[in-house]
Structure 1
Amino acid sequence: MKKNFIYTLLFLFCSFSVFYAQTQEDKKEVSIAVTDILKGFQTKDRELMNKYVNPTYGVGILFKSTGDLGFVLNDEIDFTRSLGYIQKAWNIRNQFPIQFNTTYEYDVKNLKWKKEGLSVQFNSNTVNAYADQFLPQYSVKDQEIFKINSNAKNVVFVTLAENSKEKAPINGFRFVMTKIEGKWFLTFIDVTEYDAE
């Protein structure tokens, strides 16, 4: 009996250690990817950003137009193309350290973040929540880019909440990363805070 108890404790300890190690490894990999993606966007370095775009799935741009949610799917990041209805990339300062599982609220009325910072949220259900908002005639849940994001355990939502000192269509930068075959990829850029009319 005592022997079984010791084996059970040992098994639980090992299981916890493996889980913790995977979580720490994910945090490390995601931190590197987030830093690279933000630096790539800040410096308009498409090669650095495209290193994180999966060639099979591409990168989706989520946007709003007159209140309706829409998206376009691109093979890669190309700063000569628009991001949804936003005609060009905007400037970010990217000066904040990563805060895990912190949320930042956007003030739609005043078009700015209530508090600034950089948040990385693991186990995010963001893409599923967006998929539910599309008009019924768009079967986005059947598209591969949405299917690979259906399991929240493989999804990270990143928010760089910073308010621009100049007039800009977007403040900060939001994107989704997805773990595909053991590697983290940039799968969506979220520009839904800017509603093109």
Structure 2
Amino acid sequence: MKKNFIYTLLFLFCSFGISNAQTAEDKKEISTAVTDILKGFQTKNGDLMNKYVNKTYGVGILFKSSGDLGFVINEDIDFSMPLGHIKKAWNIRNQFPIQFDQSCGYDLKNKKWSKEGLSVQFNSNAVNDYADKFSELYAVKDQTIFKINSNPKNVVFVTLAENSKERAPVNGFRFVMTKIEGQWFLTFIDVTEYDAE
């Protein structure tokens, strides 16, 4: 009986170690990708960001226009062309360390983040939440870019929350990364805090 107890403990310990190893590897891969994507956006280096754009699915840009949610799909990121509603002059400082599994709220009325920081939220339902906000006439849930993000276990929501009066109403930067065939890709950029109209 004592032997069985020891084997059970050993099995549980090994199982716990394996699940943590996967999480640690994901954190490592995501940390590298987040750093590259933010640096690419900060320096307007599309090539650096495009390392993380899947050639099959592209990258969706979520935006608001006259209060309505919309999106466009781009094959890649090219700062010499309009990128949805992202302005070329949109600047970020990107000076915060990554905090895992925390999120920052945005106050639309005051155009300000509740707190500043860089958060990475695993198991995010963000894309499903966006899809629910579209009119049923658009059937966005049937589109491939939304379908590949339907399982929250494969979705990470990244928020760089920065407040700056000089850049208001554009502050910080949000994006979604999705695990596709074992690799993390940039699948959505969220600029919904900034209403284009």
One-letter amino acid of the counterpart of residue 83, structure 2:
L
| Aligned residue runs from structure 1 range 19-98, under 5 A | 19-88=19-88, 90-98=90-98
Distance 1:147 1:180 in 2: 12
Q: Displacement of 1:82 after TM fit? A: 2.4
What's the CA shift string for 1:108-134, capped at 9, x where partnerless? 111121211111111100001001111
Unaligned runs of 5+ in 1: none
Q: Which amino acid aligns with 2:41?
A: F
Q: Distance in 2 between matches of 1:89 and 1:122?
A: 30
TM-score with structure 2 length normalisation?
A: 0.94
1:109 and 2:109 aligned: yes
| Deviating more after overlay: 75-84 vs 154-163 | 75-84
Distance 2:135 2:87 in 1: 24
Distance 1:87 1:97, change over 3 A: closer
Say whether 1:8 aligns with 2:14.
no
What is the identity, as a one-letter code, of the residue corresponding to 2:63?
F
* CA–CA separation in structure 1 for the residues paired with 2:65 and 2:59: 19
Mapped contact 1:90–1:169 kept (Cα < 8 A): no
Residue in structure 2 matched with residue 136 of structure 1 by the alignment = 136
2:124 aligned partner, one-letter code: S
CA contact (8 A) 1:90 1:168 kept: no
Q: Give the number of equivalent residue pairs.
A: 197
Letter in 2 for 1:63: F
CA–CA distance in structure 2, aligned partners of residues 99 and 174 of structure 1: 14
Normalised to the residue count of structure 1, the TM-score between the two structures is 0.94
The separation in 2 between residues aligned to 1:40 and 1:168, in whole angstroms, is 21
The alpha carbon displacement at 1:89 in A equals 5.1
Distance 2:168 2:86 in 1: 10
Q: Which structure 2 segments of 5+ residues have no match?
A: none
Tell me the C-alpha RMSD between the 2 structures. 1.4
Give the drift of 1:58: 0.5
Q: CA deviation at 1:165?
A: 4.4
Give the letter aligned to residue 160 of structure 2: L
